[in-house]
Structure 1
Amino acid sequence: MAEHETPKQDNAAPGQESSASMKQAAEDLVAMVEAGAREPSNFFASGVITFLCLCWSCFQLYLAYQPLDSHIARAWHLGFAVCLAFLAYPAYKQHTPPMWVKWTRKVIPNFARRSIRTYIPYYDMILAALATAGALYIWWDYDQLINRQGLPNTMDIWMGIILIALLLEAARRSLGPALTILGGIFMGYTVFGPYLPEVLRHRGVPLDFIISDMYLTTTGIFGVPLGVSTDFVFLFVLFGALLDRAGGGKYFIDVAFSALGTFRGGPAKAAVLASGLTGLVSGSSIANTVTTGTFTIPLMKKVGFPAYKAAAVEVAASTNGQLMPPVMGAAAFIMAEIIGIPYLDVVRAAFLPAIISYLALFWVVHVESMKMGIKAIPRSQLPPFFKTLVRGCHFIIPLAVLIFFLVIVRRSPVTSALLAIESLTVIMLVQRPIIAFLTMGAHRRAGTLDPAVDTKRFIAAAAWQGLVDIWNGLIMGARNMISVGVATATAGIIVGVVTITGLVGRFITLIDTISMGNVVLMLIFTAITSLILGMGMPTTANYIIMATLTAPVIVQLGADAGLVFPLVAAHLFVFYFGILADDTPPVGLAAYAGAAIARSDPIKTGVQGFAYDLRTAILPFIFLFNTDLLMISGVTSTGDIIWLDDYLHIAWIFFSGTIAMFAFASAIQGWLVKSCSWVERLALLAICATTFRPGAFAPYLPFDRLGMQILGVCVFFLLVAWQMSQKKTKKKKKVTT
């Protein structure tokens, strides 16, 4: 089978959409969520969007070389984001116009009759101009704003009101209604706080103070989240877009298939590996699902996976892509800034749980393949591994540059990303001319070169295509950042409200009352809240809100119960559940994207994907109580982290943690080597518990912590050996009969 050839779905039911149309539906979903659904047919309107995207990318690259005042840089960053949000995202879906459009049509019959995906209405241009003016007013009147800091004049107040209102509308367009509604509720809280129940009551905040704090300072809209989006996130998103345009995404998928296709359930395992590799540079589970799922889901269906399970495997793998260092999405950069630790420390803490989670997903896929009797793909139908690996090995260079400078040399994320982009740009400029030169040389040696071909023009055309790839990468990088820029700014409104009203202290009291002081119950409430909020908003916005409201609650209530939860562990806890919301029904967008490609029920896909992700859902509970998984041995009295430096101990933590996660996955799936009885499933859960939390059981058994972990690992392998012997005995009986 040719590389990336999508198998034809010959058994499609009559009237069912073709796989191509379903793939297009999935890509449309990504466009609507990630890059904007509008593609104007008018050359001028399309050119405006393209020009703004190029200007934004160039501005961010200039900012990396020549930093500006942080407040001014954030204002320009937000100006580009909100302007493009109104130009690239329609106000409503064409088939369901809102009531105000219907009422307007009674007066103006032809109002908004054309497809809003192919042209930009005049009112969107006006809103884009107003929103941009509201953001850039900070830059325009910056010196005077500093002079009258804390005493906004009438113009300041009106510009702040305009930006806040239009920012909430931009969030509705690009992110859905959830974040807009939540932002409106928090803004209402500043006004109506004096009339609320006592546990949430505050004195009320005057309008000028709200605008001053939300708009004119770096506490609200222009706070840490938008600052991280401006300084770090854009460069990493741009790097991912350029790498994809260069062909790096296709290369990762090819390598994954050629390496794992010959194993049992090979396409599913390849999906896990490909999504993990893509997740190294991608912070979007939805885009990851469509990028790799286009190729992996049809192949999984071909070898025997039901459509909903094929989609669920891809969704689970792509969702976990945001856990993979070194990028981990925008939220990880924001986490480092909020906590006040180097980004590399966030990566270090997240490393072992991410690898264990992915290895456990490999195990889940293997178990599912055994349950369904799925065989491997013949090697003849797969691309040769060594040839595939070597053919695109130049794509490893920019990744190696990024990891080398970020992890080994320990340069800043900005410098590391910039150097990676520079190396990738060089590769994009030279790879096509080199391939063209080698291709022509091969044809010349074989005597098949057309004499009419002009060698210089052929190579020049290839070089020009490299420039086109860079051009398209700059545009796509900016379009992918629209929703991130809007999300971080809108979440900043909520952060600002929490700051000026002192909501965190009231929230601690409220959660403590609801959970009755029980730490585990408090964590369950926090996890459920993250999942519910995350259903309607991106991971970044979900994390910012939960980190502001609940991460301090986890640390405080844990301390009240005599437990020491490192702050980074509390933040990773809410981060994990924000990620899991992408495949949680009924709104999980990654599940909808996977289901569109697989032609399966999105709810059923989401339920199955979440079942596969249960192994990830238990990890946050575990590493809060067993910080060894985060490579943290303790916290000093000043709150500084004490990192583990015993590499032998870290290796044992990784090995035992992987076995414990395998045991948990097998208990959930009901299958180890063969079907598990309820006794065996309970034994597997006991192995998981005693290996992950040895300290909880050591006082009641004649073993220390290490002894409990060794016991759990040994029992797991004994159980595997027991089931293998039973399986062999059963096979012998069948042969005898």
Structure 2
Amino acid sequence: MSTAIPDTDQETADKLKSLELAQRPAESSVGRVVYWIGVLFSLTHIYFNTLGTWSELYVSAIHFGGFALICALMVPGFKSQTRAGQRSVLLLDILVGLAAIACALYLIRFEDALYDRGVEFVTLDWVFSLLAIGIALEMARRTTGWFIPSLIVVALTYVFWWGPFIGGMFGFAGLSLETLLYRSYFGSDGMFGSIARISWTFVFMFILFGAFLVRSGAGDFIIELSRCAAGRFVGGPGFVAVLGSGLMGSVSGSSVANTVSTGVITIPLMRRAGFPARFAAGVEAAASTGGQLMPPVMGAGAFIMASYTQIPYVDIVAMAALPALLYFMSVGFYVRVEAMRSHAQSVELDTRPLKEVMKEGWHFLLPLAVLVGLLIYGFTPTYAAGISIISVVVASWLSKNPMGPTAVFDALAQGARNMATTAMLLVAVGLVVNVVAMTGIGNTFSLMISDWAGGSLLITILLVGLASLVLGMGLPVTAAYIVLATLSAPALYNLIAETKLIELMVSGGLPEAARMIFMLVDPEKVALLASPMSEIDAKALLALVPPDFMGQLMTQAVDPVVLSMALLSAHMIIFWLSQDSNVTPPVCLTAFAAAAIAKTPPMATGFTAWKIAKGLYVVPLLFGYTNLIGGSAEEVMRVFVFALFGLYAFVGFMEGHLESKLNLPLRLICGAAGTAMLWPHDMWSVDLAGLAVFIALFMYSRRGIGAVATAR
């Protein structure tokens, strides 16, 4: 699929250029070198993920060295106007890349020698550990700007320099520079630790899978399928943007790339259909942001979440599907409302019959079916991705454009290029995660959040949302999620788990073993736990439990499955809130990319996208207060169905419009109906009443359509 950008005015063109890396052209001589290095490195990673038995630390080091070389050649570190200066910059970039490979080889060759010396550094240990960290900082600077390198420097210097000089809860006694370098470079928790392992296993294999799908022509099929499925509805081009961006994002995992690849088609379609230009750009930005919420890739978030929570990847993506659908439906509701308000035409698309589209592209669905089938059957995600890559090639032989050796090499090279910046980002962020683990600052931060929130889950979620917005101004969403999850997930988990415990206490279903812990706290009130009690009494009694006993109490009282789902809910909240920086001013990269295509003011487009993406804030509340994650099938479907209509009612309240304009009293009633369906409670009567009121309002608003048509 073409990703060319239509002509834009100078302001928006400059905005878009600021979002893209100043990469060397792929067709240049350097680009051809990167091409073949990418092919070789992709094949190497496939080997490591299937047949290889090397140490994970060594593979992580090779992963860093190879992708640092690719990144150094792709993204110049400095600008030069003269040809001679360009050659000097290229030579410097080559030296940086080769130095990264030398750092990887040194670790592999001399790690045993370090331990033979009793972990005592010699000169070369100092040189290569400092060099590796310096290269990680430089690659992060080239790919994301100065924020991440600055954050890493602050974190590292906190450990060996300024930590002892600050008092209070963030004071740290400090470690020697040698200890810090050992743990960062040689240690299994540093830059070559768990985050790097996630990078070269799950993330790389699925990015490579997406590259094969795109090279095989699946992107064009997705757009055509979206046109057939949604193009004939009122406001059809808007629904094509929502559906197409969701499907593309499910395999690409990059919101900006999603916007550029699908927006060049969907935004002009929406504008021709009658949608305002700024709204069209906002819809594309919001829908493309949702692509990172859509299984199976989820912008690498599902893999990192699986590593943090120890919950199987296939379970995470299964439970993420309905919430993602809620988000895309909420964007679709905005499209429907705006289509009715703007009188957008029902169809402005040259759609082909669905039967014809499926006849030409049904084979593109086979690799996805293979992937899902292998995951459900119990194979590891990396193995499933590897087999699915092969299935893409085989399935392409059923099309008019079968993938031959050239196409396979193209996909291998493009997968490596797509992965280079992500790999450097994850390796660099691993340094921050290592500092958090070494210093215990994560527990301190969680305690601080709990203290500020005063035990309120809502305030805690709001604080995490604010922190995610601030971090998102300088960090990509995956990095923001990693940092926030490391710092605040324990606090969120504890509050959600305490909510489950209070529910048991209120119902009188607390196990006998858990009651014995309360015997140590207040023997006189233990008898109250044998029968239902008020929520206020339960919270007061729970507040008496010392923090040292809380973990044991949770283990004794709450089912382990419920606790694991509480942990997953905490991470889902953080992951969803981490996406808001894509569409929230002042730094909203996805909205800026859409604005460049639509020729609209970037900041105003950002505010429009922020409004349309309100599901990013509503659905996380459902994670915290309902059983949308981990509940029974009946509980999940109840929350899903009423939340779906609640979000529609919420959109009607925000816009003052459903099928026709709502006056102020009806608008307030619509908001009340949406609140009734979204508010967490156990009363079916409230949900049904809210649903009945909304349906009545919807039908009443349809009566206004004829009146509007008559007036026109």
- Normalised to the residue count of structure 1, the TM-score between the two structures is 0.82
Aligned to 1:571: 571
Counterpart CA distance in 2 for 1:689 and 1:552 is 29
SS in 2 for 1:566: helix
Q: Are 1:694 and 1:705, in contact at CA under 8 Å, matched by a contact in 2?
A: no
Amino acid at match of 1:534: G
Structure 1 residues without counterparts, runs of 5 or longer: 96-109, 436-461, 634-643, 696-703
Q: 1:731 to 1:358 in 2, by over 3 A?
A: closer
Give the drift of 1:529.
0.9
Counterpart CA distance in 2 for 1:138 and 1:296 is 49
**Is 1:240 equivalent to 2:210 in the alignment?**
yes
Instruction: Give the number of aligned pairs.
Output: 648
From 392, 395, 401, give the equivalent of 2:370: 401
Q: 1:362 to 1:181 in 2, by over 3 A?
A: same
From 180, 184, 189, give the equivalent of 2:158: 189
Aligned to 1:714: 692
Counterpart CA distance in 2 for 1:555 and 1:655 is 26
Aligned to 2:247: 277
Counterpart CA distance in 2 for 1:8 and 1:228 is 37
- In the TM superposition, 1:545-584 aligns within 5 A as 545-557=483-495, 566-584=566-584
Give the drift of 1:519.
3.2
Give the drift of 1:266.
1.1
Q: 1:200 to 1:279 in 2, by over 3 A?
A: same
Give the drift of 1:155.
2.4
Amino acid at match of 1:629: L
Give the drift of 1:375.
0.9
Counterpart CA distance in 1 for 2:698 and 2:169 is 54
Counterpart CA distance in 1 for 2:122 and 2:222 is 55
Q: Deviations over 1:272-319 (max 9, x none)?
A: 111111122111001111111111111111112222211111111110
Aligned to 2:176: 206
Amino acid at match of 1:56: F
- In the TM superposition, 1:359-374 aligns within 5 A as 359-374=329-344
From 198, 213, 218, give the equivalent of 2:188: 218
Counterpart CA distance in 1 for 2:661 and 2:114 is 69
Give the drift of 1:513.
4.1
Counterpart CA distance in 2 for 1:378 and 1:520 is 44
Q: Are 1:293 and 1:314, in contact at CA under 8 Å, matched by a contact in 2?
A: yes
Give the drift of 1:590.
1.1
Aligned to 2:628: 629
Q: Are 2:5 and 2:597, in contact at CA under 8 Å, matched by a contact in 1?
A: no
**Is 1:487 equivalent to 2:486 in the alignment?**
no
Give the drift of 1:141.
2.2
Amino acid at match of 2:295: P
Counterpart CA distance in 2 for 1:325 and 1:500 is 33
Instruction: Tell which deviates more after alignment, 70-79 or 121-130.
Output: 121-130
Aligned to 1:53: 38
From 692, 706, 719, give the equivalent of 2:678: 692
Counterpart CA distance in 1 for 2:491 and 2:647 is 28
From 134, 137, 153, give the equivalent of 2:106: 137
Q: Are 2:496 and 2:570, in contact at CA under 8 Å, matched by a contact in 1?
A: no
**Is 1:507 equivalent to 2:485 in the alignment?**
no
Give the drift of 1:536.
2.1
Q: 1:732 to 1:472 in 2, by over 3 A?
A: closer
Aligned to 2:326: 356
Q: Deviations over 1:623-662 (max 9, x none)?
A: 1111x212x23xxxxxxxxxx2x4x443333222211111
Give the drift of 1:719.
1.8
Q: 1:39 to 1:715 in 2, by over 3 A?
A: same
Give the drift of 1:66.
1.1
Counterpart CA distance in 1 for 2:388 and 2:278 is 38
Counterpart CA distance in 2 for 1:163 and 1:185 is 17
Instruction: Tell which deviates more after alignment, 480-489 or 584-593.
Output: 584-593
**Is 1:121 equivalent to 2:90 in the alignment?**
yes
Counterpart CA distance in 2 for 1:5 and 1:157 is 45
Counterpart CA distance in 2 for 1:157 and 1:468 is 44
Q: Deviations over 1:535-588 (max 9, x none)?
A: 222221111111101111222355678768811111111111212211222222
**Poorly superposed stretches of 4+, deviation over 6 Å:** 3-9, 560-565
Q: Are 1:535 and 1:584, in contact at CA under 8 Å, matched by a contact in 2?
A: no
Aligned to 1:587: 587
Amino acid at match of 1:582: N
**Is 1:673 equivalent to 2:641 in the alignment?**
no
- In the TM superposition, 1:75-114 aligns within 5 A as 75-92=61-78, 113-114=85-86
Q: 1:40 to 1:694 in 2, by over 3 A?
A: closer
Give the drift of 1:349.
2.5
Counterpart CA distance in 1 for 2:643 and 2:32 is 53
Counterpart CA distance in 2 for 1:371 and 1:249 is 31
Counterpart CA distance in 2 for 1:527 and 1:732 is 43
Q: Are 1:238 and 1:478, in contact at CA under 8 Å, matched by a contact in 2?
A: yes
Counterpart CA distance in 2 for 1:336 and 1:216 is 25
Q: 1:566 to 1:152 in 2, by over 3 A?
A: farther
Q: Deviations over 1:253-272 (max 9, x none)?
A: 01111332222111111011
Q: Are 1:224 and 1:334, in contact at CA under 8 Å, matched by a contact in 2?
A: no
Q: Are 2:446 and 2:489, in contact at CA under 8 Å, matched by a contact in 1?
A: no
From 48, 51, 69, give the equivalent of 2:55: 69
Q: Are 1:336 and 1:343, in contact at CA under 8 Å, matched by a contact in 2?
A: yes
- In the TM superposition, 1:284-683 aligns within 5 A as 284-377=254-347, 381-406=350-375, 408-428=376-396, 430-431=397-398, 435=400, 466-557=404-495, 566-626=566-626, 628-630=627-629, 632-633=630-631, 644=632, 646=633, 648-683=634-669
Amino acid at match of 1:268: G
Give the drift of 1:606.
1.1
Counterpart CA distance in 1 for 2:382 and 2:709 is 62
Give the drift of 1:525.
1.5
Residue identity (%): 32
SS in 2 for 1:553: helix
- Report the aligned-residue RMSD: 2.8
Aligned to 1:442: none
Counterpart CA distance in 2 for 1:257 and 1:217 is 51
Q: 1:31 to 1:402 in 2, by over 3 A?
A: farther
Q: Deviations over 1:465-485 (max 9, x none)?
A: 732221111111001101111
Counterpart CA distance in 2 for 1:149 and 1:254 is 63
SS in 2 for 1:280: helix
Q: Are 2:496 and 2:566, in contact at CA under 8 Å, matched by a contact in 1?
A: no
Give the drift of 1:518.
3.7
Q: 1:415 to 1:673 in 2, by over 3 A?
A: same
SS in 1 for 2:660: coil
Counterpart CA distance in 1 for 2:620 and 2:444 is 25
Give the drift of 1:517.
4.4
Give the drift of 1:17.
6.4
Amino acid at match of 2:90: P
Counterpart CA distance in 2 for 1:349 and 1:334 is 15
Aligned to 1:637: none
SS in 1 for 2:232: coil
Give the drift of 1:51.
2.2
SS in 2 for 1:411: coil
Aligned to 1:639: none
Q: 1:228 to 1:196 in 2, by over 3 A?
A: same
Q: 1:513 to 1:425 in 2, by over 3 A?
A: same
Q: 1:90 to 1:659 in 2, by over 3 A?
A: same
- Normalised to the residue count of structure 2, the TM-score between the two structures is 0.85
Structure 2 residues without counterparts, runs of 5 or longer: 503-562
Q: Deviations over 1:423-481 (max 9, x none)?
A: 112234x256xx3xxxxxxxxxxxxxxxxxxxxxxxxxx76x73222111111100110
Q: Are 2:140 and 2:425, in contact at CA under 8 Å, matched by a contact in 1?
A: yes
